[in-house]
Amino acid sequence: MLLTSAYAAVFVATGGDAILSVHTAQHVPAAQRSLGVCLFVVCYQLGGALRPSLATVFVLA
């Protein structure tokens, strides 16, 4: 059960990342598309890394 939940979480996170990456790529000029997608991926990953710690700071403050 726990392993199935972990697989589902990874699948949903990867799917969300893919959908938002395509959306980002559609709205960035072709000359800057790779930079736009790279910036999106960095922000997406930083959000996943920093969100729990920021939530903890706001709850405990």
pLDDT 10s digits, 8-52: 988 888 888 888 889 888 999 999 999 998 998 898 888 888 888
**Nearest 5 degrees, angle CA 42-CA 44-CA 47?**
105
Contact 25, 36 (CB under 8 A): yes
Q: What is the structure's pLDDT at 6?
A: 87
- Sole residue written with tokens 């800057």: 32
pTM greater than 0.75: no
Residue ranges covered by each domain of the chain: 2-60
* Residue 57 Cα distances to 28, 43, 47, 50, angstroms: 34, 20, 15, 11
Q: What is the tens place of the pLDDT at every residue in 42-61?
A: 988 888 888 888 888 889 87
Spatial distance between the Cα atoms of 39 and 3, rounded to a whole number of angstroms: 31
